């Protein structure tokens, strides 16, 4: 394809957000008679699903303490359910299984799920929770569990397969996906306007009218190219203003696979289980030698049988990356530097946590398998997404590592580009930091819950 090019809409990133936005924008243009998918190109420096979307765990859930996140995820679940085959989506449900310190938070989530007609069941009390879980899994043995939120919708999708399904839907509408093209900067309008008039790439310039950036962990780079502030002021919910807050920070997300037959992890009645998420403050003992791994603090894990990964796949709590955001080197063909492969410490903790929950996983340390999954996530100051327009005609989708499950965000962004105001996107505007309109935080050990 010869450069320079012109395209009315340039979408950067062939992952979940770029593909979803381009596909839904093509539908919007066609329905309105204002264009078609031929007016849209997607650029990616590597290929479809070559970044974070291609190694995502694939969990789709509504388990959020924040009302705005819950409503946005209910919308995304609708989109996942709209074409389960193309999206390789498995609607098995999701379970949040928690200790007493999270009881009140999870009860609030359940109450608000009912308010938006999102089907779920809530179990309270240690004995009732234990009975409920053993009705599902005869070998359930987790301790200190006092609440279970069982979301009947949600589940997971096969990461790469779903991205190629989405890419196929976009291309069927005329969208062009150009791989091997790296964005290196932007050309700006002259005079008072800050609008972008062209995207600079390693292959040449692309003139455009509108840009959408959905690049996952690489949002920092796009942000810097647009000369947006690296540090901001954040007004807390208490009214106190914090200056010089880093706009971006990185967390390491470790995941792995227990190399067992995924068909061996079923419910008592032989069905696929929900995606499991357990947070507890019970002592965590090694499945290898019985030594104490965690004690006196809350810890958590998530897991599911997954035929795409060929075993039981999942992860545990992330940890902060000490390297300053501007100095962190991101692998151009993966989610981060080589450290994203899970560590021996993670493997020991995660497999022991599986054994804490299910007797069938006791002594299974030798079955742990390193797998391209997890990676470094780029987070905002409050760990929640920023979805907003910058420089007049650049829409930035900064998902703060909530990305893969948010298939519906692209649909809302497409509607926004076409002039439709979205109340679901409004709570994620950049101005919330200066205004002090931040999302509430829960007691979960996971920064995104």
Q: Whose CA is closest to 154, among 234, 50, 61?
A: 61
Q: Positive or negative CA dihedral for 353, 359, 361, 366?
A: positive
- Confidence at residue 253, expressed as pLDDT on a 0 to 100 scale: 83
Tens-place pLDDT, residues 72-106? 999 999 999 999 999 999 999 999 999 999 999 99
Tens-place pLDDT, residues 152-196? 999 999 989 999 999 999 999 999 999 999 999 999 988 788 999
Cα–Cα distance for residue pair 13/10, rounded to 1 Å: 10
| 179-196 exposure pattern, b = at least 16 Cβ within 10 A, e = fewer | eebebeebebeeeeeeeb
The two tokens of residue 15 are 């992952």
Q: Whose CA is closest to 119, among 162, 81, 157?
A: 81
- Confidence at residue 322, expressed as pLDDT on a 0 to 100 scale: 80
Using 50 as the pLDDT threshold, list the residues of the chain that sit under it.
332-340
Domains of the chain, residue spans: 5-435
Q: How far apart are the first and last CA of the chain?
A: 43
Non-local CB neighbours of 16 within 8 Å, separated by 6+ positions = 53, 56, 163, 166, 214, 403, 404, 406, 407, 410
Q: Whose CA is closest to 448, among 57, 164, 120?
A: 57
Cα–Cα distance for residue pair 283/303, rounded to 1 Å: 19
On the 0-12 / 13-18 / 19+ scale of CB atoms within 10 A, 90 is buried
- Confidence at residue 342, expressed as pLDDT on a 0 to 100 scale: 57
Give the global pTM: 0.94
255 and 401 Cβ atoms separated by less than 8 Å: no
Strands (E), 31-93: 40-44, 59-60, 89-90
Q: Which residue has the tokens 């379970």?
A: 95
- Confidence at residue 372, expressed as pLDDT on a 0 to 100 scale: 62
Q: What is the CATH number of domain 5-435?
A: 3.50.50.60
- Confidence at residue 371, expressed as pLDDT on a 0 to 100 scale: 67
């Amino acid at each position: 394809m010869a450069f320079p090019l012109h395209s009315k809409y340039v979408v950067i990133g062939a992952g979940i957000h770029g593909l979803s936005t381009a596909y839904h924008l093509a539908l919007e243009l066609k329905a309105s008679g204002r264009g078609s998918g031929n007016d849209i190109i997607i650029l990616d420096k590597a290929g479809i699903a070559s970044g974070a979307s291609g190694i995502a765990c694939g969990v789709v859930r509504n388990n959020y303490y924040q009302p705005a996140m819950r409503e946005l995820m209910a919308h995304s679940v609708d989109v996942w359910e709209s074409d389960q085959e193309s999206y390789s989506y498995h609607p098995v449900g999701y379970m949040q299984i928690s200790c007493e310190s999270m009881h009140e938070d999870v009860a609030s989530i359940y109450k608000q799920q009912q308010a938006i007609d999102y089907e779920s069941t809530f179990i309270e009390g240690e004995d009732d929770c234990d009975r409920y879980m053993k009705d599902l899994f005869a070998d359930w043995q987790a301790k200190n569990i006092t609440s279970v939120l069982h979301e009947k919708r949600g589940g997971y999708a096969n990461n790469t397969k779903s991205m190629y399904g989405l890419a196929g839907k976009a291309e069927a509408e005329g969208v062009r996906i150009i791989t091997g093209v790296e964005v290196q900067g932007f050309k700006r309008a002259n005079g008072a306007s800050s609008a972008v008039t062209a995207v600079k790439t390693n292959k040449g310039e692309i003139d455009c009218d509108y840009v959408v950036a959905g690049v996952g962990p690489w949002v920092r780079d796009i942000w810097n190219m647009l000369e947006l502030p690296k540090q901001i002021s954040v007004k807390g919910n208490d009214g106190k203003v914090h200056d010089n807050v880093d706009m971006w920070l990185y967390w390491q997300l470790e995941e792995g696979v227990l190399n067992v037959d995924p068909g061996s992890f079923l419910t008592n009645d032989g069905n696929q289980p929900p995606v499991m998420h357990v947070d507890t403050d019970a002592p965590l003992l090694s499945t290898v030698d019985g030594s104490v791994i965690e004690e006196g603090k809350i810890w958590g894990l998530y897991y599911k049988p997954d035929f795409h990964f060929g075993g039981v796949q999942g992860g545990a709590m992330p940890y902060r990356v000490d390297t300053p955001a501007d100095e962190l080197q991101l692998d151009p063909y993966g989610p981060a530097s080589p450290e994203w492969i899970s560590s021996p410490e993670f493997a020991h903790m995660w497999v022991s946590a599986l054994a804490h929950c299910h007797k069938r996983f006791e002594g299974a340390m030798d079955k742990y398998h390193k797998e391209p999954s997890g990676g470094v996530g780029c987070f905002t100051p409050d760990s929640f997404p920023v979805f907003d327009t910058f420089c007049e005609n650049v829409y930035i989708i900064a998902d703060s590592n909530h990305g893969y499950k948010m298939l519906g965000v692209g649909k809302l962004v497409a509607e926004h580009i076409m002039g439709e105001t979205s109340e679901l996107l409004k709570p994620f505007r950049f101005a919330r930091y200066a205004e002090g309109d931040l999302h509430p935080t829960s007691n979960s050990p996971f920064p995104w819950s």
